[in-house]
């Protein structure tokens, strides 16, 4: 049976062990976890140090031709479609729209590039078509109507841009992500971080009613 002095000595030893353990530095991670953390940190450091031009974009529009140089003096406006849906108003096979789109992309891009086509036609519509509200009831403008009037609401902008894009082979869809608003998305080549010299296709957001927006940017909302 231990004496009181022995028990006190044992308590002091245990207390010293606890204090020593608390003051010891934490053991750094080891094994696969340590290698993974290190690899992530190295990649982030490399990306931070790389110049912005190391991942070059595709061809950019050089010059958007003036409205009067690409739009014919007269345009035939077809009959309104029976279906009152925004998709029904997109026209991809109209010769006059094909003429307008071809003139814009030829002057702006110089060489066939759907990413450049999308950006050039976006700037053409954004900078040449004003904004005017619909009548009291919803009204979809045919693309020829919008070109003749020089103005439309967001539906008219989107229908015109989608029609011009489709007439030069760019697939489009409408984006209704913002309540009460519609914009266009174009299926165009885009470079990703790990794609090297290859481009993968993806949807590029185009809001031609936003005068402060560039291709791919969304309107700032309060």
Q: What is the pTM of this model?
A: 0.73
pLDDT given for residue 55 in this prediction: 44
Residue 64 confidence (pLDDT) = 95
Say what the pLDDT of residue 35 is: 72
Structure token pair of residue 13: 């030893």
Distance CA 38, CA 96 (A): 59
Q: How confident is the model at residue 185 (pLDDT cuts 50, 70, 90)?
A: very high
The DSSP letter of residue 78 is P
pLDDT tens per residue, range 162-172: 999 999 999 99
The Cα-based distances of 123 to 65, 126, 209, 212 in angstroms read 10, 5, 10, 11
For the record, the structure tokens of 102 come out as 């071809």
CB of 76 within 8 A of CB of 96? Answer: yes
End-to-end CA distance of the chain: 79
pLDDT tens-digit map of 13-54: 655 665 565 555 555 556 677 677 777 676 666 555 544 344
Mean of the per-residue pLDDT values for the chain? Answer: 83
Question: Measured between alpha carbons, how far is residue 161 from residues 66, 121, 135, 145, 146 in Å?
Answer: 16, 7, 21, 13, 10
Residue among 203, 50, 67, 52 at smallest CA distance from 130:
67
CATH of span 67-206: 3.10.620
CA distances from 134 to 74, 102, 122, 137, 156 (A): 24, 29, 21, 7, 9
């Amino acid at each position: 049976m231990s004496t009181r002095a022995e028990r006190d000595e044992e308590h002091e030893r245990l207390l010293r062990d606890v204090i020593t353990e608390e003051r010891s530095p934490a053991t750094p991670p080891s094994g696969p976890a340590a290698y993974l953390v290190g690899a992530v940190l190295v990649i982030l450091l490399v990306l931070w140090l790389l110049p912005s031009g190391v991942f070059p974009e595709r061809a950019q529009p050089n010059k958007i031709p003036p409205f009067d140089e690409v739009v014919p003096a007269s345009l035939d406006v077809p009959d309104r479609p029976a279906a009152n849906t925004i998709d029904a108003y997109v026209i991809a096979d109209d010769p006059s729209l094909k003429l307008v789109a071809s003139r814009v992309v030829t002057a702006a891009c110089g060489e066939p590039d759907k990413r450049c086509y999308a950006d050039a036609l976006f700037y053409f519509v954004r900078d040449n078509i004003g904004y005017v509200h619909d009548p009291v009831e919803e009204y979809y403008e045919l693309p020829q109507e919008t070109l003749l009037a020089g103005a439309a609401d967001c539906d008219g902008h989107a229908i015109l841009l989608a029609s011009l894009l489709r007439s030069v082979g760019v697939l489009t869809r409408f984006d209704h992500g913002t309540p009460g608003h519609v914009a266009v998305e174009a299926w165009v080549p885009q470079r990703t971080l790990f794609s090297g010299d290859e481009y993968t296709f993806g949807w590029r957001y185009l809001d031609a009613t936003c005068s402060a927006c560039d291709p791919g940017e969304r309107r700032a909302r309060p």
